Chain A
Amino acid sequence: MDMTKTSVNVDTKPAKTKKKKGKSLEKNKARMGWFFVLPFVLGFFFVYFPMIVQSLQFSFSDMERAAGGGGYQLTWNSFKNYNYALFEDTEYLKILISSLKQLVFDIPAIVIFSLFLAIMLNQKMRGRAVFRAIFFLPVIVSTGIIESIDLQNTLASAMGEATTTTGAGGSGASGANIIQAIDVQKFFASMKIGTQLVSYVTGLVNDVYNIINRSGVQMLVFLSGLQSISPAIYESCYMEGASAWETFWKITFPMISPMILVNAIYTIIDSFTTESNEVMKYIINFNDGRYTAGVQAAAMSWIYFVIVIVIIAAVAGVISAYVFYQRRD
Chain B
Amino acid sequence: MDSMNLPQYDKKGKLKFDDQTPFWTRMRYKYLSMYFLKRAALVVFRLVLLIGISYVVIFPYISKLSSSFMSREDFVDVSVKLIPKYPTLDTYKAIINDNKYIEALTNTAMISIACGFIQMMSCALVGYGFSKFNFKGKGFLFACVILTMVVPHKTLQFSMKMAFQYFDIWGIGGFLKKAFGSADGAAYIANLYDTHWPLMILSFGAVGFKNGLYIFIMRQYYKGVPDELEEAAYVDGAGTLKTFIRIILPMSVPMLVTIFLLSFSWQWTDNFYVTMFYNAKTNVFFPQIVNTIPKSLDTRYVAQAAYETAIRNTSGILVLAPLIVVFLFGQRYLIQGIERTGVTG
* Per-residue B-contact encoding for A29-59, CB less than 8 Å = 1, 0 else: 1111111111111111011101110110010
Given contacts A146-B269, A225-B344, A301-B156, are A44 and B207 in contact (CB under 8 A)? yes
Interface size on B, residues (CB 8 A): 119
Q: Is the CB of B122 within 8 A of A39?
A: yes
* Per-residue A-contact encoding for B199-223, CB less than 8 Å = 1, 0 else: 0011011110000000100000000
> In the complex, what's the smallest C-beta–C-beta distance from A298 to chain B, in angstroms?
6
Q: Is B319 interfacial (CB-CB < 8 Å)?
A: yes
Cα(A140)–Cα(B188), bound, Å = 38
Stretch at the interface among B2-10, B25-33, B71-79: B71-79
Interface size on A, residues (CB 8 A): 114
Q: Is the CB of B75 within 8 A of A170?
A: yes
CB < 8 Å: which of A32, A146, A160, A224 contacts B340? A224
Given contacts A132-B335, A149-B313, A172-B67, are A36 and B271 in contact (CB under 8 A)? no
Q: Is B302 interfacial (CB-CB < 8 Å)?
A: yes
Given contacts A172-B60, A305-B155, A309-B150, are A50 and B163 in contact (CB under 8 A)? yes
Q: Is the CB of B128 within 8 A of A36?
A: yes
CB < 8 Å: which of B56, B141, B291 contacts A209? B56
> In the complex, what's the smallest C-beta–C-beta distance from A109 to chain B, in angstroms?
14
Q: List 19 A-B contacts (CB under 8 A).
A: A36-B125, A40-B122, A68-B185, A71-B166, A117-B53, A125-B46, A145-B271, A164-B303, A164-B304, A167-B76, A168-B67, A170-B70, A170-B313, A172-B313, A209-B60, A273-B154, A283-B154, A301-B155, A301-B156
- Chain B interface (Cβ < 8 Å from any Cβ of A): 43, 46, 49-50, 53-64, 66-67, 70, 74-82, 84, 122, 125-126, 128-130, 132-136, 138, 141, 144-145, 148-152, 154-160, 162-163, 166, 169-170, 184-188, 191, 201-202, 204-207, 215, 234, 240-241, 244, 261-262, 265-266, 269-272, 286-287, 290-291, 302-306, 308-310, 312-313, 315-316, 319-320, 323-324, 327, 331-332, 334-335, 338-345
Report, nearest first, the 4 A-B pairs whose CB atoms are least far apart. Answer: A43-B205, A160-B305, A36-B129, A33-B133
